[in-house]
Structure 1
């Protein structure tokens, strides 16, 4: 008698989850985040709404997961360490600028940014899975530069990270101009000049 194998719930769940993420990503790309509904995602994925709500609490949460799944990079986030701090930071900011200025991603980025600000669940996921790992590896690279003498021994690494990434995000959020490689290079050069400048403790030369 042929052996009857029971369906594997884990495999079925993984197929459903993959279909949901693909559907969410495609719909956002096609019609924009604002017009996407949980119902539309469920219909495209061939599942019930309750299946989506079993894994995600909101539309923002499922779209964020879909974005990560479609753009995931293999392995841990890492920064190059060639021994040339300026060159390494320019490589990273150029890549960030390219991603943020990609017309195919810009609308999704902006919609997700709103969700991150307004949905504590999405914000926590963003911090844990994207922002905090990026900031940590950047601090690691700056710490290495500090240890080798490329940065001053008292360099505040948290402040250095803000100097590096803050202006890039400011320019993108307010659409103040294109995010070019030249702009990224200027940000790195300005950041390193600022970090190299000795503190004046609020005083100035007479």
Structure 2
């Protein structure tokens, strides 16, 4: 008797999902978010558009999942901000790496599209924040808390405000695109945040 096996629908679905992810990222890079459509993603991925609508409610949701999957592949495990005992050096190093990522078109194009879509799509913004942004911000909180416990920061410091002083200006400059986002900039930012603006005694 011939060996007949049922189609592996899970494997086929995973293959289709990955093709859709790749198509969404490619189209956003090539034509921009505004001109990317569900129909275009489906055609590029070689699937029917109803397949996409069955899994996602919008092109923004497709792009978000594709972007999150891209980040998972790049991370290859949970990332931590190193604690060398030198808070200044550790923050400079992580912000330099952040700048490199933000200046990489593979990251910048889809993330800018998601940032813009998040302004008008509250659900997408909430999901983006919960799944990507907030976990990254908590890495800063963890490193700053370790510095606080080591006596390198004031015990009364609000760690959330402290991390916002570090990452907020970087995000602002990245979104505005009027000034360069460089290692020199983030190094100076760390110095200003940790040591203040007033003259030193």
**Same fold at TM > 0.5:** yes
Change in 2 beyond 3 A, CA 1:196/1:130? farther
1:61–1:122 CA contact under 8 A, matched in 2: yes
**Which residue of structure 1 aligns with residue 108 of structure 2?**
106
Verify: 1:53 aligned to 2:50, yes or no: no
Distance 2:114 2:21 in 1: 15
**Which residue of structure 2 aligns with residue 188 of structure 1?**
190
2:25–2:110 CA contact under 8 A, matched in 1: no
Verify: 1:125 aligned to 2:127, yes or no: yes
Distance 2:166 2:71 in 1: 23
Q: Secondary structure at the match of 1:134?
A: helix
Equivalent residues in 2 for 1:158-197, closer than 5 Å: 158-194=160-196
Q: CA deviation at 1:56?
A: 1.1
Q: Secondary structure at the match of 1:34?
A: coil
Q: Secondary structure at the match of 1:7?
A: coil
Distance 1:176 1:193 in 2: 26
Which residues of structure 2 form unaligned runs of 5+?
Answer: none
* 37-46 vs 119-128, greater mean Cα deviation: 119-128
Q: CA deviation at 1:102?
A: 2.8
Q: CA deviation at 1:103?
A: 4.2
1:29–1:108 CA contact under 8 A, matched in 2: yes
Among 125, 147, 150, which residue is 1:148 paired with? 150
Distance 1:182 1:22 in 2: 34
2:63–2:110 CA contact under 8 A, matched in 1: no
Which residues of structure 1 form unaligned runs of 5+?
Answer: 198-206
Change in 2 beyond 3 A, CA 1:25/1:107? closer
2:16–2:47 CA contact under 8 A, matched in 1: yes
Higher Cα radius of gyration: 1
C-alpha RMSD over aligned residues: 1.9
Instruction: Please give the TM-score of this superposition, normalised by the length of structure 1.
Output: 0.89
**Which residue of structure 1 aligns with residue 77 of structure 2?**
75
Deviation by residue 1:105-162 (Cα, 9 ceiling, x = unmatched) = 4333322211122212321221122111011111010000000011111111011011
1:90–1:185 CA contact under 8 A, matched in 2: yes
Change in 2 beyond 3 A, CA 1:146/1:44? same
Verify: 1:23 aligned to 2:26, yes or no: no
Number of equivalenced pairs: 197
Distance 1:37 1:74 in 2: 30
Instruction: Please give the TM-score of this superposition, normalised by the length of structure 2.
Output: 0.91
Q: CA deviation at 1:67?
A: 2.0
